[in-house]
Chains A and B, each alone.
Chain A
Amino acid sequence: MKHRIKPATRKSFITYAIMIAAFIFVEILVSTGNASNMFQGLLVPFCVYSISAAALNLTVGILGELSLGQAGFMCIGAYSSAIFSVCTKDTITQAWIRFPIAMLIGGIFAALFGVLIGIPVLRLRGDYLAIVTLAFGEIIKNVFAALYVGYDSNGLHFSLTSQGDLNLAPDGKMLINGALGISGTPKDSTFVIGFIVLMISLVILYNFTNSRTGRAVMSVRDNRIAAESIGLNITKYKLITFGLTAFLGGVAGALFSHNLSALQASKFDYNLSILILVFVVLGGIGNIRGSVIAAIVLTYIPEALRKAGSNLTNYRMLIYSIILIIMMIFTSNAKIRGFFTASFMRLKGIVFKNKSAVKEGE
């Protein structure tokens, strides 16, 4: 009997292949000197937003809960990892050891907060998560914007009022300087590392959705009462999913903070959360690959338009909005989507002759 690959497995492998091909393409562009500075500067942000959007899609698409606070988790990840890196950059000199630990710390702290707000909220039925995460994101941003952290030979010092209140020893260093944010973070993020982290995130996300746990989570989304009737601990599965979304959001934040020599909390505002959600919605709810592609395309377009020449620059946001609307129509209208799927199938039929009959199933 012919061995057939599960459709879900095939889907994930196609995604990996696209990502690797894109990565090689970009590397060639860069090494042959065909990539602009602007484009090269966007490579790490591509990874950051892709990871964050794909992770958010887990909560929005697979669990079916709305979260408006992804920027908050990124913020926690960015700050906690940066504090770690700044404190240890003299003791752990090798970035390839220090940075993975920093990202892990960023992820764990973000997940911790995710679970902390998830425990009371995810028990409730209804859209409470949206309301609470919205508030959470704003609170986190404001707390970090008012946070002063420094360290000296006595260890870490915290204050929420001013730099002077830290009482640092003369040899002390500032880590977080209120609204001015973090500075002195080692620039450990590179496109290669970002790409590796993105690939690992995708493997985690695909394996999660295709696992027994993933099916359980989808069953909660499909029908809560039925999920309860088969003996599923609903709160537990919601927490696992939301925690994983927060974790990867935190990792993305770590990648972000180690890409900039100075980072302010104000970057992680409500707009960023909405932007990430836009990537998820336009990429297709529940479609992880779509989130990544939408994140990359929609991060690139505004920047490309900004550089496209003075005429276009004035119409930058207009063009961007039109593209958003077109993408929305494409991805949400079943008829248009059906038309393109059908054309694609026909094309596939021509190319592969009769082998194109797509058989789904195990």
Chain B
Amino acid sequence: MAMLEIKDLHVYYGIIQALKGISFEVNEGEVIALIGANGAGKTTTLHTLTGILPAKTGSILYNGVELTKTPAHKIVKMGIAHVPEGRRIFQQLTVLDNLKLGAFTRKDKEGIAADLEMVYKRFPRLEERKTQIAGTLSGGEQQMLAMGRALMSKPKIIVMDEPSMGLSPIFVSEIFDIIESIRKDGLTVLLVEQNAKKALAIADRAYVLETGRITLSGKASDLINDEKVKKAYLGD
């Protein structure tokens, strides 16, 4: 059984249908890329998964538990961490407060302290800036903070929404290196990206989303050589 099984998911914004029956699965330990153009429904998919948006019909099974009826604050507790699109950090709080809030659903003080060390090790810049107000960080640092905050919940699977968006090439490489290291530590990753080249390079499998439907899927190494994908998403 897959860790995460999405079946025939339909999601609406009022009368606008954003997801028109998508199905995919994520197995434990995999890095799955979900690629697609702007407006394809990638963020909508993640928000439904994490309980921020309700599904009209369809199901999301996480280790056999139905998530479409579970409130957002309980989903985090079940081991799903979400790095939202657009570096949504808590601008007016310090870096340390942001990270501590990432562990909001946890009670194990020692575990939290250990994970804070782990996050600082992975992102030394965050430790240097721990008393700084988060809104004053650079774009790349804010993205790192959003990732660090998600890791503080001790997730089993981490879903990331366009972590490379709007970052300089150096930061983009750094972010993808971090994703690589996260998967090496045994975490499952669901990665939403417009940067298809980078995403397909580190993913095991990938799905292509087009206007609310999955139009292609397969091994990332196959998709990267697929003519249609090349033309539409790799720009060559």
- Where the two chains meet, the residues of A that have a C-beta atom closer than 8 Å to any C-beta of B are 212, 215-216, 218-219, 222-223, 225-234, 360-362
Contact = CB atoms under 8 A, between A and B. Distances in A.
B90 interface: yes
Interface string B85-101: 00011111100110011
Given A216-B104, A219-B101, A362-B131, A229 B91 contact: no
Contacts of B230: none
Contacts of B92: 218, 222
Given A228-B50, A230-B102, 14 more contacts: A216-B104, A223-B90, A229-B52, A229-B81, A229-B82, A229-B84, A230-B104, A230-B149, A230-B150, A230-B153, A231-B75, A231-B104, A233-B73, A362-B131
B61 interface: no
A362 B132 CA distance: 11
A230 B146 CA distance: 10
Interface in B25-77: 47, 50-52, 71-77
A215 B73 contact: no
B153 A231 contact: yes
Contacts, number: 74
B198 to A, nearest CB: 23
Contacts of B51: 228
Nearest to A7: B131
What band does the interface of chain B fall in when counting residues whose beta carbon is under 8 Å from A?
A: 20 to 34
B105 interface: yes
Contacts of A362: 96, 131
A229 B50 contact: yes
Contacts of A227: 90
27 contacts: A212-B104, A215-B93, A215-B100, A216-B104, A219-B90, A219-B93, A219-B101, A222-B91, A222-B93, A223-B90, A226-B89, A226-B90, A228-B52, A228-B72, A229-B50, A229-B52, A229-B72, A229-B82, A229-B83, A230-B76, A231-B73, A231-B75, A232-B73, A233-B73, A234-B73, A361-B131, A362-B96
Contacts of A232: 73, 101, 104
Contacts of A215: 93, 97, 100-101
Given A216-B101, A219-B101, A225-B52, A231 B90 contact: no
Contact of A226 (B47, B75, B77, B84): B84
A219 B84 CA distance: 14
Among all A-B residue pairs, the 6 with the closest Cβ atoms? A231-B76, A226-B88, A361-B131, A229-B82, A222-B90, A231-B105
Contacts of A212: 104
Interface in B145-202: 146, 149-150, 153
